[in-house]
A = this chain, B = another copy of it.
């Protein structure tokens, strides 16, 4: 995944529309389709750009389109009646929205910055699943991965301290956004402190305090509020596991 895709720098116009040249072709669920079938996919899909904060869907909306993230990042959230919010996850380029087969959206999906989606009507999605059974195999694999990630997050939410949660989160974000495997480990944080808090089951002040603690311990440096250098990933890993 490129920094360009993450931060939604304009995609080259030359590859626009063509599924064969799609920037997330390798990561997307559409990778399951043989090249000859891409024409079908291409005919069924449309692009849409979301501005910062704009919602692709809201909790309770009927699911009439599924989507693949081409660039940018979305936050997936749920609300309790009194307004408490929980962020279930973040959708990065290559991630698929609509995996859960619900008829009503279980989550609100909002763009953190500018983002681009590749959309397909749900009806057409179901038709393609029917016509190309290899899609279900791909969707299953993806759902299984999401399930593993969800359970990892449950462990964090249920049994980890604030420091452990934030350390875990930084390593997770570093894995999902890193483009330079060598050199100092870097994490790009496209979300606010409130978003992180709602993802980790903490308050924004607590997240901020933990950042300061980790900074004080020499484990990280905040280049900007949304970019972190991880100096000692192994030690941070120990923090994350409570060692």
A contact residues vs B (CB 8 Å cutoff): 78, 80-82, 84-86, 88, 99-102, 106-107, 129, 133-134, 136-137, 139-141, 143-144, 146-148, 150-151, 153-155, 157-160, 198-201, 241-243
Contact = CB atoms under 8 A, between A and B. Distances in A.
B241 A80 contact: yes
Contacts of A198: 158-159
- Secondary structure class of chain A's binding surface, majority of residues: helix
A144 B78 contact: no
A139 B137 CA distance: 9
Sorted from nearest, which 8 A-B pairs have the closest CB atoms? A158-B201, A140-B140, A157-B157, A143-B143, A150-B150, A136-B137, A133-B133, A101-B144
B80 A159 contact: yes
A148 B106 contact: yes
A138 to B, nearest CB: 9
This protein's copies in its complex: 2
A159 B101 contact: no
Contacts of A241: 80-81
Contacts of A101: 140-141, 144
Nearest to A85: B159
Given A81-B242, A133-B133, A154-B154, 19 more contacts: A81-B241, A82-B243, A86-B155, A86-B158, A88-B154, A99-B144, A99-B147, A100-B148, A101-B144, A106-B151, A107-B151, A129-B137, A136-B140, A139-B140, A140-B143, A143-B144, A146-B147, A147-B147, A147-B150
Nearest to A102: B148
Contacts of A141: 101
Contacts of A139: 140
21 contacts: A85-B159, A86-B158, A86-B159, A88-B151, A88-B154, A100-B144, A100-B147, A100-B148, A106-B148, A133-B133, A136-B137, A137-B140, A140-B140, A143-B143, A143-B144, A143-B147, A150-B150, A154-B154, A154-B157, A157-B201, A158-B199
